[in-house]
């Protein structure tokens, strides 16, 4: 499982004067958003989470300027969970980490392929290939998955890679979230079935504080006040049957089941 390091390097960017302002409830997948107190820019995805651009170089592989960025209040921003970091758009740049001389080509779905030779790099990016290389801080290297080395130019087309990565959520393979509603009478659907690598949003639509807590405390939402929600990803290592209950009641009076296939 990837570990995400959330650091903000966008504080030095001179973003345009506030032009468009939205509420968290009005966000749509693909929106670029920022709060008032900090200049960090996020991509709002269809799983209901925000993904941070860790630095200006990463941002500009996806967007030429900041004209599409929408402002929301810091209070609204805080209600949108952070899902991870945005990675480089495939094909636009070659990257390397500061502590290693290995140069990588960025491929679909956050995959990296080590470029086998300088001659190969020239075939892909021209004689000035080294001007296309960006250094990525070591702590962000875990956002990528290293795959088989790239040793033949015909197996990698930078322009095609860029064209295929038409959105951040496509690159990260993000799916829409599945909602589990908490009501005064119990969980709306006693059993919910989802495919693995799906985000599940637990929404408190009741009139009292509530939780969705796995029976053995393996995972849980924490206390959700009326109207609040919590989203959790269930990946390959979470496949199986999970029973959960509301800690403000008892397992016997309010329980549900999540089946991850």
Same domain, 189 and 245: yes
CA 6-171-49 angle, 5° bins: 45
Please, which pLDDT band fits residue 3 given cuts at 50, 70 and 90? very low
Same domain, 54 and 31: yes
Phi first, then psi, for residue 124 (nearest 5°) are -85, -40
7 has a pLDDT exceeding 50: no
Q: What percent of the chain has pLDDT over 70?
A: 92
Element (H, E) at 171: helix 168-171
Q: Which of 31, 53, 85 is the last residue of a domain?
A: 85
Same domain, 256 and 233: yes
Residues spanned by the domain of 149? 94-171
Same domain, 80 and 103: no
| Cα 151 to the center of its chain, rounded Å | 30
Same domain, 212 and 232: yes
Give the bridge partners for 85, in sequence order. 52
Please, which pLDDT band fits residue 98 given cuts at 50, 70 and 90? confident
pLDDT tens profile 21-49? 888 888 999 999 999 888 899 999 999 99
78 inside domain: yes
162 inside domain: yes
75 vs 14 pLDDT, higher one = 75
Tally of structural domains, the chain: 3
5 inside domain: no
Q: Which two tokens stand for residue 130?
A: 């080294």
25 inside domain: yes
Burial (CB count within 10 angstroms: exposed 0-12, middle 13-18, buried 19+), residue 71: middle
Q: Which of 125, 143, 171 is the last residue of a domain?
A: 171
Same domain, 183 and 165: no
9 has a pLDDT exceeding 80: no
Q: Which of 171, 200, 221 is the last residue of a domain?
A: 171
pTM for the whole structure: 0.84
3 inside domain: no
In DSSP notation, 65-85 reads SSTTEEE--HHHHHTS-EEEE
pLDDT of residue 18: 56
105 inside domain: yes
Same domain, 36 and 65: yes
Same domain, 99 and 39: no
201 inside domain: yes
Place of tokens 């966008």: 10
């Amino acid at each position: 499982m990837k570990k995400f390091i959330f650091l903000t390097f966008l504080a030095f960017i001179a973003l345009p004067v506030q032009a468009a302002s939205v509420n968290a409830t009005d966000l749509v997948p693909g929106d670029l958003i920022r709060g008032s107190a900090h200049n960090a820019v996020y991509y709002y995805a269809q799983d209901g989470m925000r993904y941070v651009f860790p630095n200006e170089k990463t941002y500009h592989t996806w967007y030429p300027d900041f004209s599409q960025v929408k402002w929301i209040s810091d209070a609204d921003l805080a209600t949108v969970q952070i899902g991870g970091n945005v990675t480089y758009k495939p094909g636009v740049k070659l990257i390397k980490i500061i502590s290693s001389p290995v140069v990588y080509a960025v491929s679909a779905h956050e995959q990296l392929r080590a470029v086998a030779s300088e001659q190969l790099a020239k075939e892909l990016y021209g004689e000035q290939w080294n001007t296309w290389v960006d250094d990525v801080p070591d702590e962000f290297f875990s956002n990528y998955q290293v795959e088989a080395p790239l040793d033949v130019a015909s197996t990698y087309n930078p322009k095609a890679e860029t064209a295929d990565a038409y959105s951040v959520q496509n690159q990260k393979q993000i799916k829409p979230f599945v909602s589990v509603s908490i009501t005064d009478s119990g969980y709306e659907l006693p059993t919910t079935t989802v495919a693995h690598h799906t985000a599940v949003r637990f929404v408190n639509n009741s009139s009292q504080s509530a939780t969705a807590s796995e029976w053995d405390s393996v995972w849980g939402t924490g206390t959700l006040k009326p109207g609040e929600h919590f989203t959790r990803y269930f990946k390959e290592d979470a496949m199986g049957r999970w029973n959960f209950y509301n800690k403000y009641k008892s397992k016997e009076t309010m329980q549900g089941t999540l089946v991850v296939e």
